Amino acid sequence: MTRDPLGEAGGLNLYAFVGNNPVNWGDPWGLKPGDLFNTIEDAAIDASNYIYPNSIQNKSEYGGWIWKRTGGLPWKRTVQYGYDDPVTQKNHRHVEITIRTCEGERPEKTPVAIFHSHAIDNPRYDGENFSLEDRSIAERKSIERIFPIFVITPLGVIKKYDPINGISIIGQYSGAFIGFPY
């Protein structure tokens, strides 16, 4: 049992990173929804690692928005990426991610990608690959710009799909997260 690796920089409650339950939950790097990353892929990998254990354990898909935040000074703009708390409908074949799940707490958040999990693999449902619905979502969102969609598969492979560059593998479940407290 350890305190938040970020120490007080992560907030005064040194066990909030595990839902105040360090015996049952773990997050060795102190990363969570809302943290900032330098690339969309880094945010997607962290989000995927965050949702994977519960997705497999509950046999449900989880997902949410990856967003970008632009800041800095006018002559030196910075762009960082984060992700929202994942949502689920407790369904092994579908999770509904609407634009409303990305609105609210920060007006400067601009949705730039979707992340989600595939919970189970069976002969009638190929959880190791993007579904036609997954690809269709990316293609609809990409009319104005590239809008990738990310998935973590039942075997823990993290994949990216965008209509221009196709499918690529960007990572593997790292085992960093034991779960999240809900």
Tens of pLDDT, residues 110-137: 888 999 998 876 667 788 998 888 888 7
Q: Which residue carries 């707490």 as its tokens?
A: 105
In a shared domain, residues 3 and 58: no
pTM: 0.73
In a domain, 5, yes or no: yes
In a shared domain, residues 134 and 162: yes
Higher pLDDT, 154 or 12: 154
In a shared domain, residues 53 and 18: no
Which is nearest to 182 in space by CA: 90, 120, 74, 95?
A: 90
Averaged confidence pLDDT in the chain: 75
In a shared domain, residues 86 and 164: yes
Question: Can you give the pLDDT at residue 141?
Answer: 61
Question: Residue by residue, what is the 3-state secondary structure of 78-119?
Answer: EEEEEECCCECCCCCCCCCCCHHHHCCCCCCCEEEEEEEECC
In a shared domain, residues 106 and 142: yes
| Percentage above 70 pLDDT, the chain | 64
What are the CA-CA distances from residue 109 to residues 21, 39, 65, 101, 103 (Å)? 30, 15, 10, 11, 8
When pLDDT is averaged across residues 78-93 and rounded to a whole number, the result is 80
In a shared domain, residues 41 and 56: yes
Question: Can you give the pLDDT at residue 81?
Answer: 93
Is the predicted pLDDT of residue 90 greater than 50, yes or no? yes
In a shared domain, residues 36 and 122: yes
Question: Can you give the pLDDT at residue 21?
Answer: 60
In a shared domain, residues 128 and 94: yes
Question: Can you give the pLDDT at residue 31?
Answer: 60
Tens of pLDDT, residues 6-55: 455 445 666 665 556 665 555 555 567 878 899 999 999 999 999 998 88
Question: Can you give the pLDDT at residue 57?
Answer: 87
In a shared domain, residues 162 and 72: yes
Count of domains observed in the chain = 2
In a domain, 178, yes or no: no
In a shared domain, residues 98 and 161: yes
In a shared domain, residues 80 and 6: no
Residue span of the structural domain in which 35 resides? 31-172
Q: Of 34-43, 78-87, 102-111, 131-140, which gets the smallest average pLDDT?
A: 102-111
In a domain, 121, yes or no: yes
